[in-house]
Each structure stands twice: as C-alpha cells, then as structure tokens.
C-alpha cells in the first residue's frame, strides 16, 4: 500500500520537478509506451506467447478514434469507447487466428497479421489517408478540463497509467492470472486439470488487445496524429524489446524497458539518424547477455553480490 502511495505521489509531482514542457512531453511518451509494453506483457510474460504484431493495438484504435472524430463527427467520449471496442474486437478475431498455432508459429502469424494491417493502412487511402495518416481534431475535455497543455495532459495519462497498473497487478494475482501462468509452464497438466487452455490463452490475447487499445487511445491523444508508421514492424519490435529488456512476467519490467527505450530513442534520434541500427544492436545484446531482462537480471546480480557476504558472515 505504501509503495502505491509513493508511486502515485512520484507520478503526480514529476512535472513540477522537470525543467520544461519538452521534458514533460517525453515523460508522457514514456507513460504511453509503458502502457503498451504492460499490455504486451500479459501475452509474453504471463502467457508465454511471443507476439510480433502488437503495433496493431496501438495503431487500430488510434486510427479508429481519429476517424470517428474526423469523419463520423462523434464527440470525444463515444469516439474513445468506439476506438477501444474496435481494437478489442480486432484482438478477438486475430486471437482466433494466431492461436491456431503456438510458439514460433504464433509469432509468425501475429507478424503476418500485423504487416497486413500495416499494408491496409498504407494502401486504403480513402479510409486511412494513406501515407499522410489521420490527424486528431482535438484532445478531449474530460469534466471540462482542457488537456491541450502538456502538464494537464501528463496528469491525465499518469492517472490512466496508475489505474492500469493497479488493474494489471490484480490480474496477475487473480485466479485467472494463475491459470494463465499455468498454461505457460504446464499446458498439458492444465488440460488434465480440466482447464480450457485455448480459452484461457484467447482471453489473455483479448485482454492484451484491450489494454493495448487503451495505450493506442493515449497514443493518438499524445501525438494528435496517426500514420502507417504506427502500425509498422519496428513499432511491434520496439514494444517486444521493451518487455524483454525490462523483464517479461514482472510488473516493473515493461515499465523500466519503456523508460529506457523511449529515452534512448529520444536522445539518440537527436544525435544520430541510425536509430534502427541501435535498436537492432540493443536487441542482440539483450538476448545474448541478459536474456531474462533488466529487472530480474539486476535482482540476480544483486543477490550474487550480497550472498557471498552472508556466507562469509556465517563462516565467521
């Protein structure tokens, strides 16, 4: 309980400590990507299903929200609900297809589906505006609060982030979370115990798509704009890298991964144009040297440092 209070206060006072709106903007980006990484972590960390098509749930609701507000003339709230619903329904349909396979087949299908959605966004100019993308008319005004300025918008995203974090912690500790980890580690035993392994995995896929859609909604509010780039493979790969870098299957891991990747990207892109080389290199380094991720990895190194001392003390 104390930890959560500290986190809430830290999130709330952060913009007051940052030197300018530029940095508050970066903090908002970090939170949006942390939401995306947290949603992908449901699949990868708890479900053991590596998806390379998670950009779909960032891009589809973002497009849906912009389209509903621009062309269907909806106001912010119905557009937001519609966008999340469309994103979640997409996850429901794609989950049925991707779960025809497990392991690497699952990865290939999610990748192919992601590329198809990207191709549609790129080519179906009448709906998506093609390469130019869609522009969001304006950020919402929940309860009459104007979110156009960076600081109020940061607080809005931070509040959403905090709520999602609490929900995901409950999810991880719920009986459903236990079942999902069971299907990851021992699918046969779970089947023998009478659980419907396929249904548990599909539900996890839909949940992941739902929370991913929430991230997608925040994404389009944050950027005010969505283009096929949002749906492209590098976006899915970045999300996967955030989870793997921070540590899959932990709550803090994806957040740490999102902070590091977003900061590296922001800093690197102002110095070098070769961000993708750096992304690829981080991928290879993480996989070879810290396959379990930073959060569990640091924990392991910390224990290795502290344990010998314990042993010495015992010997003395």
Partner 1 sequence: MQFWLIQTLNSLALGGLLFLLSSGFSLIFGLLRIPNLAHGALFMLGAYLGATVLAQDLPFWLAVLVAGLVVGLGGVVVERLLLRRLAGNEQGQVLVTLGIAFILADLCLLAWGGDPIPLAAPSGMRRPLLLFGFAFPTYRLAVLVLALIVALLLYLLMERTRLGAMIRAGVDDREMARATGIRVSYLFGCVFFLGAALAGIGGVIGGPILSAYPGLDADMLPLALIVVILGGVGSLLGALVGSFIVGFLYNFGTAFFPDFAYVVLFLPMVLALGFKPEGLFGRVRT
Please write down the long-range contacts of 128-133, taking CB distance under 8 Å and 24 or more positions apart: 128/63, 128/67, 128/228, 130/228, 131/227, 131/228, 132/227, 133/225, 133/226, 133/227, 133/228, 133/229, 133/230
The least distance separating partner 1 from the CB of residue 281, rounded to whole angstroms, comes to: 7
Residues 49-68 that bind partner 1 (CB under 8 A): 50, 52
C-alpha–C-alpha distance, residues 86 and 213, integer Å: 9
Q: Determine if 107 is a binding residue for partner 1 (CB under 8 A).
A: yes
How many of the chain's residues bind partner 1 (CB under 8 A)?
Answer: 41
Read off the DSSP letter of residue 230: G
Residues 275-294 that bind partner 1 (CB under 8 A): 276-277, 279-284, 286-288, 291
Give the one residue of 80, 165, 244, 251 binding partner 1; rule: CB under 8 A: 244
Q: Which stretch binds partner 1 (CB under 8 A): 22-30, 78-86, 145-153, 228-236?
A: 228-236
Q: Report the residue number, 132 or 277, with the smaller CB distance to partner 1.
A: 277
**CA nearest neighbour of 127 among 66, 49, 189, 212:** 66
Structure tokens at 188: 């046969």
**How near is the Cβ of 294 to partner 1 at its closest, in Å?**
15
108 binds partner 1 (CB under 8 A): yes
Long-range contacts of 276-285, Cβ-Cβ distance < 8 Å, separation of 24 or more = 276/234, 279/234, 279/237, 279/238, 279/241, 282/241, 282/245, 283/237, 283/241
Could you say which of 60, 203, 214, 237 contacts partner 1 (CB under 8 A)? Answer: 237
Q: What is the closest distance, in whole angstroms, from the C-beta atom of residue 131 to partner 1 in the complex?
A: 11
Region near partner 1 per CB under 8 A, out of 55-63, 95-103, 179-187, 191-199: 95-103
Quick one: which of 223, 132, 213, 211 has its CA closest to 169?
211
Asked if residues 39 and 215 have their Cβ atoms less than 8 Å apart, the reply is yes
Query: What size, in residues, is the chain?
Result: 316
- Kindly state the smallest distance separating residue 113's Cβ from partner 1, in Å: 8
Q: CA-to-CA distance for 147 and 11, rounded, in angstroms?
A: 17
Q: How far apart are the C-alpha atoms of 229 and 248, rounded to whole Å?
A: 25
Between strands 134-135 and 225-226, the pairing is antiparallel
Q: Applying CB under 8 A, which of residues 5, 16, 17, 104 lies at the interface with partner 1?
A: 104
**Looking at beta carbons only, is 98 or 147 nearer to partner 1?**
98
Question: Which of 123, 169, 300, 303: binder of partner 1 (CB under 8 A)?
Answer: 123
Which is closer to partner 1, CB of 92 or CB of 280?
A: 280
User: Which one-letter DSSP state was computed for residue 225?
Assistant: E
Contact indicator for 244, 293 with CB cutoff of 8 Å: yes
Pick from 299, 219, 213, 207: which is nearest to 256 by CA?
A: 299
Stretch that binds partner 1, among 20-28, 135-143, 173-181, 230-238 (CB under 8 A): 230-238
Instruction: Single out the residue of 10, 22, 77, 103 in contact with partner 1 (rule: CB under 8 A).
Output: 103
> Smaller CB distance to partner 1: residue 100 or 170?
100
> At closest approach, how far in Å is the CB of 45 from partner 1?
13
Nearest distance from C-beta of residue 254 to partner 1, angstroms: 16
Residues that bind partner 1 (CB under 8 A): 50, 52, 97, 100-101, 103-105, 107-109, 111-113, 115-116, 119-120, 123-126, 232-234, 237, 240, 244, 274, 276-277, 279-284, 286-288, 291
């Amino acid at each position: 309980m104390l930890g959560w209070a500290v986190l809430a206060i830290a999130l709330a006072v952060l913009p007051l400590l940052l030197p300018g709106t530029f940095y508050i903007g970066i903090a908002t980006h970090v939170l949006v990507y942390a939401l995306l990484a947290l949603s992908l972590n449901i699949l990868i960390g708890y479900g053991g299903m590596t998806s390379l098509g998670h950009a779909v749930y960032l891009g589809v609701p973002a497009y849906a929200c912009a389209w509903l507000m621009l062309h269907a003339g909806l106001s912010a709230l119905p557009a937001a609900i519609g966008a999340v619903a469309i994103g979640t329904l997409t996850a429901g349909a794609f989950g049925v297809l991707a779960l025809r396979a497990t392991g690497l087949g699952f990865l290939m299908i999610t990748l192919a589906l992601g590329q198809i959605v990207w191709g549609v966004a790129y080519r179906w100019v009448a709906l998506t505006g093609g390469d130019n993308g869609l522009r969001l008319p304006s950020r919402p005004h929940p309860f009459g609060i104007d979110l156009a300025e960076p600081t109020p918008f940061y607080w809005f995203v931070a509040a959403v982030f905090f709520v999602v974090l609490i929900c995901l912690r409950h999810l991880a500790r719920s009986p459903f979370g236990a079942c999902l980890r069971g299907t990851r580690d021992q699918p046969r035993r779970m089947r023998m115990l009478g659980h419907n392994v396929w249904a548990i995995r599909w539900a996890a896929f839909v949940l992941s798509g739902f929370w991913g859609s929430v991230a997608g909604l925040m994404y389009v509010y944050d950027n005010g704009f969505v283009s096929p780039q949002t749906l492209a493979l590098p976006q899915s790969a970045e999300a996967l890298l955030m989870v793997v870098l921070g540590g899959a299957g932990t709550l803090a891991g994806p957040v740490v991964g999102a902070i590091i990747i977003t900061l590296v990207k922001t800093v690197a892109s102002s110095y070098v144009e070769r961000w993708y080389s750096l992304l690829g290199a981080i991928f290879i380094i993480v996989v070879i040297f810290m396959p379990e991720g930073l959060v569990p990895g640091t924990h392991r190194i910390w224990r290795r440092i502290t344990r010998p001392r314990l042993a010495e003390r015992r010997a003395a």
